[in-house]
Amino acid sequence: MADFPTETQPERRNWVWSTIQLVLRLVFALWLRYRARGHEHIAHRGGMLLIINHQSFLDPLLVGLPLRRPVSFVARENLFRVPFVGWVLRNTYVLPINRESAGTAVLREMIARLKAGFWVGIFPEGTRSPDGKLGEIKPGFLAMLRRANVPVCPVGIAGADRALGRFHKLPHFSTVRVVFGEPISAEQVAETLKLGEAALLDLIRTRLEECMAQASDWRDHR
């Protein structure tokens, strides 16, 4: 994977992403009856790791849409070679990842972005859920938390699997809700890690499941 520079203005949206947000607000309102909550209470100005359940290819857009700050996600490296798509990805803070050789290069860049003050979004399940439920949380991201010393914000998505899930070939109309939970402070992350990685994974899973349950209940009682 080729080297790519760390952005120097982590709190500033560029015109590409701002334009996409405007378009998506209309599209998602009509297609998904999209709504999000909790993001208005996230005021952290430094780096932060957003940990999100994974239901659909739409998830990065669903999470980034209501935020006034950019979020760095990762995408398959071959997508960056697609005309126009690659240009959009490069201008919306996305990091390329080669799945066959993924590992230290992307990890180093994500840590660098966190330390530089970026918000970084990850899907710790590693793949889209086949049934909308939270799968196994893989511990690879703990290396980022050990080295970057940033808070963790759980984000729960409900309904995206019904709109464009893992086994969907065509999009469906659905109702999607996104709930941003109260961030786990960097100090609490560090203290919990002293009890072992399993303790921190349990804490994060519990907080993520709470956000998912709130999003699901909100969707079902709209």
Confidence of residue 91 (pLDDT cuts 50, 70, 90): confident
- Provide CB contacts within 8 A for 125, sequence distance 6+: 53, 54, 134, 135, 136, 137, 138
Q: How many other C-beta atoms lie within 10 A of the C-beta of residue 10? A: 21
Instruction: Tell whether the model's pLDDT for residue 5 goes beyond 70.
Output: no
Residue 177's pLDDT is: 98
Are 151 and 203 in contact by the 8 Å Cβ rule? The answer is: no
Are 189 and 163 in contact by the 8 Å Cβ rule? The answer is: no
Confidence of residue 134 (pLDDT cuts 50, 70, 90): very high
Please write the tens of the pLDDT for every residue from 97-112: 876 655 688 888 899 9
Instruction: Tell whether the model's pLDDT for residue 189 goes beyond 50.
Output: yes
Overall average pLDDT of the 14-28 stretch = 93
> What domains appear along the chain, each with residue ranges and CATH number?
15-220 (3.40.1130.10)
